[in-house]
Amino acid sequence: MTSVQTPDGLPAAKATTVADALGRPLHDLRISLLDQCNLRCPYCMPESEFHSDYEFLRKQQRLTYDEIIQVVRVATGLGVGKIRLTGGEPLLDKNIAELIGRLTDLPLVKDLAMTTNGMLLATAAPKLAKAGLHRVTVSLDSLDDGVFSHMSGGRGDVSKVLAGIRAAEDAGLDPIKINVVVQRGVNDHTIIDLLEYFRGTGHIVRLIEFMDVGNRNGWRMDQVMPSRKVLELVEQRWPLQAMDKNYTGEVARRYKYVDGEGEIGFISSVTEPFCGNCSRARLSADGMLYTCLFATHGTDLREPLRNGADDNELRDILSQIWLQRADRYSELRQPDLAEAHILRKVEMYRIGG
């Protein structure tokens, strides 16, 4: 095994893999480019708190592209193959194509994806594809204008998001996944229409259980619509057949329409937790590394980076973090405690879900 990269930038021959305290490899790195967003989804960034005077991270507080590239270079040397760019809303970063281009130059980045709310995707899609982005996931909780407006803090526009999805398809950024957070009594009555719209398009709708992420969404268990209930609802309309996972650690349970009109998925962190194979780490825009979506603390990488840490020093830091990792929040979640919102968890907008 050679070190991650030689000082003169020669690509590492191959990665070493590092396993956490539960034997899980480090495979996915989600990178939040900025903490700002152009929507105000109440379950993530409520307008009441993230108003016009709210102070988001300043540029110098955010990791530079050089710093992000160094973290990714080292992380891929430790087994990371999948990079997902997130936010806030990553497309608010005007130079994102430059970063994408540099990430695709790293030999061990096998899968480069982005999660976006789609509002800016229609114009951005061609340059993202040209820069080398492989695929996109679009968050779209409903096709009903009123419901979507409510779930996006009055700022979302369904037609803009759909135009973004078409542009991403035209640019070849597919298969496109559509993430739908299902909230009982909020958008569950509009799921069938959304599925109907995407049937036969090749796009994959993933129905996500409402989670107690962060500290601001007032999560209660009775707002969760268990995936098995959603599955029953869908099967009343279209017969489905279970499919195998694409890879170990994939979060979605996959189903295909028996009539051949495509695939959907269920992400059931609350009722069917999947911590056992969780191989994801999350990097915030200001350089904090978190080892769980529901983490209460992270590790600051910005300081060692700005103190001139080289690849091997950073590799030791990352290895230590992962080797000690034992997160399995969803498996241990006690709904009554979660409803009490006692734990001060990292906010979702800071790590992009």
User: What does the binding site for ligand SF4 look like in residue numbers (CB under 6 A)?
Assistant: 269, 274-275, 278, 280, 292-294, 327-330
Q: How far is the CB of 348 from ligand SF4 (least distance, A)?
A: 11
- Using the minimum distance from each CB to ligand SF4, give the nearer residue, 307 or 340: 340
- Using the minimum distance from each CB to ligand SF4, give the nearer residue, 99 or 224: 224
Enter the DSSP assignment of 32. Answer: E
Long-range own/partner contacts, residues 289-292 (CB < 8 A, 24 or more apart): 289/318, 289/321, 290/346, 290/351, 291/20, 291/321, 291/322, 291/325, 291/327, 292/327, 292/328, 292/329
Other beta carbons less than 10 A from residue 29's beta carbon: 23
Q: How far is the CB of 30 from ligand SF4 (least distance, A)?
A: 10
Q: How far is the CB of 58 from ligand SF4 (least distance, A)?
A: 28
Other beta carbons less than 10 A from residue 53's beta carbon: 5
Hunting for tokens 């009555």 — which residue is that? 189
- Using the minimum distance from each CB to ligand SF4, give the nearer residue, 99 or 293: 293
Closest to 117 in 3D by CA, of 67, 157, 76: 157
- Using the minimum distance from each CB to ligand SF4, give the nearer residue, 166 or 328: 328
Side chain identity, residue 110: K
Q: How far is the CB of 100 from ligand SF4 (least distance, A)?
A: 25
The 3-state secondary structure of 204-255 reads EEEEEECCCCCCCCCCCHHHECCHHHHHHHHHCCCCEEECCCCCCCCCCEEE
- Using the minimum distance from each CB to ligand SF4, give the nearer residue, 227 or 330: 330
- Using the minimum distance from each CB to ligand SF4, give the nearer residue, 30 or 315: 30
CA of 321: how far to CAs of 39, 173, 205, 276, 326, in Å?
33, 33, 33, 18, 10
Distance from the Cα of residue 26 to its chain's centroid: 15
d(CA 85, CA 310): 23
Q: How far is the CB of 288 from ligand SF4 (least distance, A)?
A: 15
- Using the minimum distance from each CB to ligand SF4, give the nearer residue, 75 or 119: 75
First to last CA, the chain: 33
Q: How far is the CB of 221 from ligand SF4 (least distance, A)?
A: 16
- Using the minimum distance from each CB to ligand SF4, give the nearer residue, 173 or 351: 351
Q: How far is the CB of 329 from ligand SF4 (least distance, A)?
A: 4
d(CA 316, CA 293): 23
Cis-peptide into 42, omega within 30 deg: no
Q: How far is the CB of 202 from ligand SF4 (least distance, A)?
A: 27
